[in-house]
């Protein structure tokens, strides 16, 4: 049986800031986005204990903690710490998968005995984090025989927690958790499960496969059934191995809440352009577009077409269809039309080289124009050439995501 660890940093961004600046240690702090928005993207352990969660707005946090300190995010520094952490983990197993900036999976099945067993492996990793990164940065760890249960365990006893989930204690663990503690179950899925009379992980565990497949169709139904049974056959993929890109997306938190339909639509268009550039760099095209709008009312949906696309305008057309279906552009009930966050992604990807060219040459012409614009913007800077619709639109500040993407691509090349 496999032995998987999920190692998750505690209050990562905030802990990093407290490690950088000793004056912040022991105090409730909130890390804010770099785009000028009064939004907390990470709260310190001290702030969480007093009731401040992330994400939240600074004025909401100050109602709870009047003297709470706010510091801007420093993503380059966080990435440097993540790289140091990866170097530490590699010394204990070659199978280390970077799941996000602040969490990894490790398969120590073949190496635990080299270091005295799983608990000593964890102790040694924590000791090296303390000595090589900083004593104020801590991790919580989940141990299990698969990735899903290991991740579930790491979130159960924060901070500096350790939870092991086995076949024997699975139902005991399920009795202590919520459906939304499961990676893959959000509020929308939870509501649909509730409509079936499934309110807890134990309920899900008892639910027959055919009931879930009838409600959620084949793929998602089987996925939820496996969660209920504690099954997961996915393997730990080392971060230095090239991986197949399944989707390309972009999420953006607006500098301020807006009801302005032109600003909302322009931002959607700009995000579509960014995604199209990334697709072309990866030599990928997709045919499913997903759009999420978050505000006082949130909506999300997807559109799938038969042809594969990598053009920003074509991605935007599908977003427009969803936008109109939701009637977000109507003037009535304006309080429910405010937007603070927009997320877009393109999935169902394939390699561009695998697609046949159009008999009429239209697609080839569009592709040449897009690639020419890409080269000009790469040479002279983003937004040097942009669609006329964006003439008075916002130039999105994409440093964190763009920086991380570029850094990650380079780090994989150098191993």
Q: Which residues are catalytic?
A: 103
Q: With 0-12 CB in 10 A as exposed, 13-18 as middle and 19+ as buried, what is 288?
A: middle
For the four alpha carbons of 43, 49, 50 and 55, in that order, the dihedral sign comes to positive
- Between 399-414 and 75-90, two packed helices, what is the crossing angle to 10 degrees? 30
CA distance 122 to 161: 11
Phi and psi at residue 113, to the nearest 5°: -70, -20
Got the DSSP string for 108-168?
A: -TTTGGGGTSHHHHHHHHHHHHHHHT-TT--EEEEEESSHHHHHHHHTSS-SS-EEE--TT
Q: Distance between CA atoms of 265 and 270, rounded to whole angstroms?
A: 9
What is the Cα–Cα distance from 267 to 346, expressed in whole angstroms? 16
């Amino acid at each position: 049986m496999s032995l998987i660890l999920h190692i998750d940093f505690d209050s990562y961004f905030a802990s990093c800031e407290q490690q950088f600046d000793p004056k912040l240690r022991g105090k409730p702090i909130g890390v804010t986005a770099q785009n000028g928005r009064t939004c907390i993207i990470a709260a310190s352990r001290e702030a969480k204990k007093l009731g401040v969660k992330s994400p939240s707005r600074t004025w909401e946090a100050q109602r709870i903690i009047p003297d709470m300190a706010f510091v801007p995010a420093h993503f380059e520094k966080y990435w440097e710490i993540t790289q140091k952490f990866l170097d530490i983990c590699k010394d204990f197993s070659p199978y280390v998968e970077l799941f996000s900036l602040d969490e990894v999976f490790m398969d120590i099945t073949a190496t635990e005995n080299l270091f005295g067993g799983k608990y000593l492996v964890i102790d040694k990793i924590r000791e090296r984090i303390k000595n090589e990164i900083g004593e104020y940065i801590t991790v919580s760890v989940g141990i299990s025989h698969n990735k899903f249960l290991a991740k579930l365990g790491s979130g159960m006893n924060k901070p500096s927690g350790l939870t092991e989930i086995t076949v024997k204690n699975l139902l005991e663990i399920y009795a202590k958790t919520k459906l939304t503690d499961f990676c893959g179950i959000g509020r929308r899925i939870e509501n649909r499960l509730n409509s079936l009379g499934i309110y807890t992980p134990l309920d899900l565990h008892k639910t027959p496969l055919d009931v879930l497949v009838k409600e959620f169709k084949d793929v998602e139904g089987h996925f939820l059934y496996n969660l209920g049974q504690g099954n997961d056959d996915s393997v730990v993929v080392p971060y230095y191995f090239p991986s197949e890109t399944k989707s390309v997306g972009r999420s953006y938190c607006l500098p301020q809440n807006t009801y302005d339909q032109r600003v909302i639509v322009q931002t959607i268009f700009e995000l579509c352009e960014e995604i199209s550039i990334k697709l072309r760099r990866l030599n990928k095209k997709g045919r499913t577009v997903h759009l999420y709008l978050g505000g006082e009312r949130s909506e999300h949906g997807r559109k799938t077409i038969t042809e594969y696309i990598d053009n920003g305008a074509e991605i935007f057309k599908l977003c427009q269809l969803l936008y109109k279906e939701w009637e977000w552009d109507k003037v009535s009930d304006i309080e429910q039309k405010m937007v603070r966050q927009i997320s877009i992604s393109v999935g169902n990807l394939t390699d561009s080289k695998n697609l046949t060219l159009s008999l009429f040459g239209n697609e080839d012409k569009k592709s040449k124009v897009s690639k020419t614009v890409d080269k000009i913007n790469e040479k002279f800077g983003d937004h040097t050439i942009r669609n006329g619709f964006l003439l008075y639109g916002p130039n999105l500040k994409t440093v964190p995501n763009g920086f991380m993407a570029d850094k990650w691509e380079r780090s994989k090349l150098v191993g």
